[in-house]
Every structure is written in C-alpha cells, then in structure tokens.
Amino acid sequence: MKKISTVAAKQSRNCSEQKLTIGLDLGDRSSWYCVLDEAGAVLLEQKLATTPKAMREGFGGMPRSRIALETGMHSPWVSRLLSELGHEVIVAHARSVRLIGESRRKDDRLDAQTLARLARIDPQLLCPVKHRSAKAQADLTLIRARAGLVRARTALVNTARGLAKSYGERLRGCNVRNMNPEKAEGLSPELQRALKPLLAAIVER
C-alpha cells in the first residue's frame, strides 16, 4: 500500500495529537483515504480494501475523526461501521459534490482529498444525507429482493408466451402463479423441448 510519509512513527504521533479530517473515496474493491491535520495539511494518503476487516484495521486505531464519504453502494455499511468505531461520519450526496462529480478524469486520491477539504471547511457543502438504520435497510432489501423475483418470473412467463406465439401456438390458462412444465403438454414436440426447461425454472423461482 502506498503511503505519503517519511517517518511512520511521527505520523502516528501527529494523528493522535490532532483533530483529524478524513476524506474516504469508496471503490467497489478498494478505497482511498486522505487524512488532513487541523491546519489542512496532508498527513497521510493511503489505499485499503473495501471490506469490513480492512476498514476496522484502517480506522479502528485512529482518534475520533471527522470522516466524509459519498453516497454509493458501500456507503450504508461503511458509514455505520465508522460510526461504531467512534468517528463523526458525514455522508455526502454524490450528485451535490460537483467538485468531484464533474471531474473529467476520475482520480481516487484527489477525490478523497477533496472530500476531506470540503468536510474540514464546511460539512454543509457536502449536502449531508442520513442512511437508513441497519434494520430498515434489511427490511427494504427483503422487499426489493421479492420485487426482483416477481419481475424475473414475469419476464420468464412473457418469454414463454412469446416463443409459443412465434410458432402459432399458445400457452393457455397460465399466469405467473400457476405456470409449470405441464402447461407445455399441448404444444408441438419441438416447442415442448424448448419451453419445458424455462417453465421448470419459473417453478423453481
């Protein structure tokens, strides 16, 4: 991992003695963070894996700091984890952080530094948002998963119906709830061979 540092021990001492502001640019596999001191000088810039273990190792030993990150796929769990570690967490609305969003060239290191500088100057510039609680997110995830299942089943049923019609035949008396391989028994042999695996997949879902 790359560190902008001359003496690690001195950096650690500086971090523990100051009020720090951190910008965290989240990526799907890895993330980049930038640590600023009270005067706005860069103390540390480093990359780490976007996993709970790496986040705990990276931020668990730091003094209570202000950490800014953007909304995204990983921001709900990361923000909760950092809060549990005792940090002040600011979740910035990604669309509102124009200094980052309108950049022509994506640069994780500079994005992390920009987040840190905005959070240090005025957190309201980041248009902070509040994520749902873990329970609320779990409930919403269940609802979305069920909705996705319904959409998938409906798409498979519509595909089966369309393929049957392309042969001049029809799957009669069927819908998402009662579709099964037996519905293909009145169809031509070649169409039965094609549709039975698809209809079986609908039943499995």
- Mean pLDDT lowest among 29-33, 123-127, 134-138, 157-161: 134-138
Find how far residue 113's CA is from the centre of its chain.
21
Q: In 3D, which of 117, 29, 109 has the Cα closest to residue 74?
A: 29
pLDDT, tens digit (0-9, with 9 covering 90-100), for 134-144: 787 787 788 88
Fold of 8-129: Nucleotidyltransferase; domain 5 (3.30.420)
pLDDT, tens digit (0-9, with 9 covering 90-100), for 50-90: 999 999 999 999 999 999 999 999 999 999 999 999 999 99
DSSP label at residue 60? T
> What mean pLDDT, rounded, does the chain reach?
84
The three-class DSSP label of residue 195 is: helix
15, pLDDT greater than 80: no
2, pLDDT greater than 80: no
The residue ranges of every structural domain in the chain are 8-129, 134-204
Which two structure tokens, joined as six digits, stand for 170? 């029809």
